[in-house]
Amino acid sequence: MNIYYLTLFPDMYEGVLGASILKRAKDKGIVDYHMINFRDFSGDKHNKVDDYPYGGGAGMVLKPEPVFNAMDSLDIGDNKRVILMCPQGKPFDQKLAEELAEEDNIVFINGHYEGYDERIRTLVTDEVSIGDYVLTGGELASMTMTDAIVRLIPDVLSNQASHQEDSFSTGMLEHPHYTRPREYRGMKVPEVLLSGNHKHIEEWRHEQSLKRTRERRPDLLDG
C-alpha cells in the first residue's frame, strides 16, 4: 500500500511513521509513506496557499491550485481513496479502517485553515473526522487513521488472531487480561484463568466482555 499525505507540515509525520509497528511495516515493504508539501505546488511566486474568503468573514481558505497541482503530481490513476481530513466528515471507525486496509493507494489531504475551497471536494472520495473535537489540522488525525489501517494489513502484526479479537471488531470491548505474578499487592488473578479449563475461560471472558461493554459503551450493544 502507498499512503500519500498532502500537508504543509511534513515533519509532523516523522516520529509517528518512523517508530514501532508503522516503521516495521515500511521496513518489511508492506507499506510506503509519502509526504508531499503542497506549498511546493502553489504555482505562486510567494508560495501562497490560502486566501481571504469571497463574501467576507473570519479566517482563511485553502486555495484550490496547490491541492489540485499536488494531486496531479501523484500519477497513480483512479485506483485510490482520497480522504479529506475535516471535523465535518463522517466519523472514523473500525469498519472504515478495515475497508481502507484493502486499498492500494490512500491520499490524505490535510488542511490547517478555517476551510477548504469547495472545489477541492471534487477530488475527494471520503470526508472523514476522527471525533467530535477540533484539531489545529488534519495531520494528527491522518496519523491516527494510518495507525488503525496499517495494523490491519496482513503480515503487519505477527499474531494475526490478535486483531480479530480487537475491541470493535467483535462489536464488544475486550475482556480483562492478567499475567504473572498470580498475586500482586494483595490483588489475585481470577481463579478461572488458572484452571486450565478452556471452556470455562472462554465463558468467563465472554461474560466480562459483555459486562464491560454494558458499563462503558452500551451504545455498542444497540442492535
Q: How far is the CB of 87 from ligand 6GU (least distance, A)?
A: 4
In the block, which residue shows the cell 508539501? 37
Give me the least distance between CB of 110 and ligand 6GU, in Å please: 8
Match 507499506 to its residue by C-alpha cell. 31
Per annotation, catalytic residue among 87, 98, 147, 205: 87
Give 87 or 211: the residue with its C-beta nearer to ligand 6GU: 87
4 is in an annotated binding site: no
Alpha-carbon gap, residue 78 to 167, rounded angstroms: 33
Q: Which of 11, 14, 102, 114 is catalytic?
A: 114
Q: Which residues does residue 105 pair with via DSSP β-bridges, in sequence order?
A: 2
User: What is the smallest separation between the CB atom of 113 and ligand 6GU, expressed in angstroms?
Assistant: 9
CA 180 to chain CA centroid, Å, is 33
Cβ neighbourhood burial of 103 (10 Å; 0-12, 13-18, 19+): middle
Strands (DSSP E) along 27-120, which ranges? 32-37, 50-51, 61-62, 81-91, 105-110, 115-116
If binding is defined by CB under 6 A, does position 88 make contact with ligand 6GU? Answer: no
Residue 185 catalytic? Answer: no
Active site residue 181: no
Of residues 98, 166, 174, 205, which has the active-site annotation?
166
Clarify whether 183 is annotated catalytic.
no
Interface residues for ligand 6GU in 109-138 (CB under 6 A)?
A: 129-131, 133-135, 137-138
CB atoms within 10 A of CB 10: 16
H helices of 75-172, in order, are 94-100, 139-150, 161-164
- Of the ranges 80-88, 165-173, 180-188, 211-219, which one interacts with ligand 6GU (CB under 6 A)? 80-88
Question: Annotated binding site for S-adenosyl-L-methionine: which residue ranges?
Answer: 111, 130-135
Tell me the catalytic residues.
87, 114, 151, 166
